[in-house]
Amino acid sequence: MNQLVSTPSAALRDRLRHRVRGEDAGALWYCLLLLLAATAAAYLMAHRWNASLIDRHSFRQTQTAISVRSMLDGGPWLAYETPVLGRPWSIPFEFPTYQWLVALTVLATHLPLDQAGRVVGVVSFGMLLLAVYAGRAGHPTEPSSSR
């Protein structure tokens, strides 16, 4: 039985003997680019895990973190508050899907708010990579017709 598992099938042997076709090479490059993007995201997440929100985009990052903190402290989740500019404490920039996901991540994992936001961002990026790959796999490039 171990011999059957370790021996490649005839179809696989034939495929390995032949040169890679054009569309297979394109799919291989596509997979390599996705792997590179995923590796870069993992490296950046590990490298910036404890970084402060105060950087080039500090206003936007801290505004989002304050909105999530307000939700976690009992504020409304749909008409969320951002207590920075005075009453009525509301700055409706967007629908709060990201804020909800971060707040739920904090509640579920007890991670600090900054790290929960990073986790949500990287998971969203990973899901986007999977969606792009699935879309690519569902619509392979067709060879151009010669005229």
Percent of the chain residues past pLDDT 70, beyond the cut? 76
Count the residues in the chain: 147
Secondary structure element (H or E) that encloses residue 37, with its range: helix 22-47
Contacts of 112 (CB under 8 A, 6+ apart): 106
Confidence of residue 98 (pLDDT cuts 50, 70, 90): very high
**For the chain, which residues make up each domain, given as ranges?**
58-138
Would you state the structure tokens that stand for residue 2, as one six-digit string?
């171990």
Please report the sign of the dihedral spanned by the C-alpha atoms of residue 14, residue 18, residue 20, residue 24.
Answer: negative
Q: What is the mean pLDDT of the chain?
A: 79
Residue 108 has pLDDT above 90, yes or no: yes
How far apart are the C-alpha atoms of 32 and 77, rounded to whole Å?
40
- Over range 133-146, report the average pLDDT: 61
Q: Which residue has the higher pLDDT, 73 or 23?
A: 73
Percent of the chain with pLDDT over 90: 22
Q: Which residues contact 75 (CB under 8 A, 6 or more apart)?
A: 81
Higher-confidence residue: 2 or 138? 138
pTM for the predicted model, two decimal places: 0.68
Q: Give the pLDDT confidence score for residue 20 in this predicted structure.
A: 55
Q: Across 89-140, where does the E strand assignment appear?
A: none
Q: Give the model's pLDDT for residue 112.
A: 94
32-72 pLDDT per residue, tens: 888 898 898 889 888 888 888 888 878 888 888 988 998 99
| Confidence (pLDDT) at 99 | 93
